[in-house]
Structure formats: C-alpha cells, structure tokens
C-alpha cells in the first residue's frame, strides 16, 4: 500500500496496525518512495558464545604461517 507522508501523519495508528497484521506500507513524498513501514520480522536468537565448545576442533598451530610465508610478512 502506498501512502503519502501527509496522509500517513493522519493515519499512523491505522498504518501501524496494518503493518502488524503483515502488510508493508510504502510512504511517499512527492510521488517518490521515502520510507517503508514493514511487519515485525520473526527474529531468531543469535547463537550464544561458546555454543560449539567441545563440538569443533581447531589445530594448535591454526594461526601460524606455514613454510615460505616469511618473505610476505613484514
């Protein structure tokens, strides 16, 4: 749904309700897209630090450069 910013000022509560119901509202200024009101996304929780502890293995020399790299490191 496209709505001018002037119209959106008068109908903000209705527009937010429509966005909450899943509709995307496009706000326009002088006929050009200025902003969008979008439905809230279902946010997945971020992985916790340490969640893979004991499940992955990293070599002891993981961050060491192999032979022949000395000439490139200054």
Beta strands in 1-74 (DSSP E): 2-4, 25-29, 32-37
pLDDT score of 43: 59
Could you identify the residue written with the tokens 């996304």?
Answer: 41
pTM: 0.55
Give the distance, in angstroms, between the CA of residue 52 and the centroid of all CA atoms in the same chain.
23
Give the domain ranges of the chain. 2-37
More confident residue, 52 or 16: 16
- 3-class state of residue 61 by DSSP: coil
pLDDT score of 51: 85
pLDDT score of 17: 96
The predicted-structure confidence for 17-74, as pLDDT tens digits, reads as follows 999 999 999 999 999 999 999 988 865 777 889 888 889 988 998 888 888 888 888 7
């Amino acid at each position: 749904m496209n709505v001018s910013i002037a119209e959106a000022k008068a109908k903000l509560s209705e527009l937010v309700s429509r966005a909450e119901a899943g509709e995307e509202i496009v706000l326009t200024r002088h006929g050009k897209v200025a902003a969008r009101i979008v439905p809230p996304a279902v946010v997945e929780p971020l992985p916790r630090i340490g969640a893979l502890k004991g499940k992955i293995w990293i070599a002891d020399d993981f961050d060491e450069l192999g032979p022949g790299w000395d000439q490139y490191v200054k």
